[in-house]
């Protein structure tokens, strides 16, 4: 899976969850904070993690060095899943 595919999947999942929570997202930028800028609640973040784990076929939180609290920005989400997928499917 390419970096662009991961980013597209993350953005799609963010939009889907925002729609379910009746949040309005005009645009999503990498530096945006998931809670403060996008308005996600802790439950929304859990739904995001669960959805991404399923969509991307990896769970980066199986690695004890990664915590859910590490997901502060959109870029953090993309980076953590990219790193997780690199460990699963090395080049």
Q: Set out the domains of the chain in order of their start, with CATH numbers.
A: 3-88 (1.10.1200.10)
What pLDDT, on the 0 to 100 scale, is given for residue 19?
95
What pLDDT, on the 0 to 100 scale, is given for residue 89?
72
Rounded Cα distance, 78 and 22, in Å:
23
What pLDDT, on the 0 to 100 scale, is given for residue 64?
84
What pLDDT, on the 0 to 100 scale, is given for residue 18?
96
Of 90, 89, 70, nearest to 80 (Cα)? 70
Please list the pLDDT of the chain residue by residue as tens digits (91 residues).
888 999 999 999 999 999 999 999 889 999 999 999 999 999 999 999 999 999 999 999 998 888 888 899 999 999 999 999 988 776 5
What pLDDT, on the 0 to 100 scale, is given for residue 20?
94
């Amino acid at each position: 899976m390419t970096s662009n595919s991961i980013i597209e999947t993350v953005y799609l999942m963010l939009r889907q969850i925002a729609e379910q929570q009746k949040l309005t997202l005009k645009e999503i930028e990498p530096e945006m904070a998931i809670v403060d800028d996008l308005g996600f609640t802790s439950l929304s973040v859990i739904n995001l993690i669960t959805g991404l784990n399923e969509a991307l076929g990896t769970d980066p939180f199986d690695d004890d060095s990664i915590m859910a609290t590490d997901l502060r920005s959109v870029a953090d989400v993309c980076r953590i899943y990219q790193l997780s997928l690199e460990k699963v499917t090395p080049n």
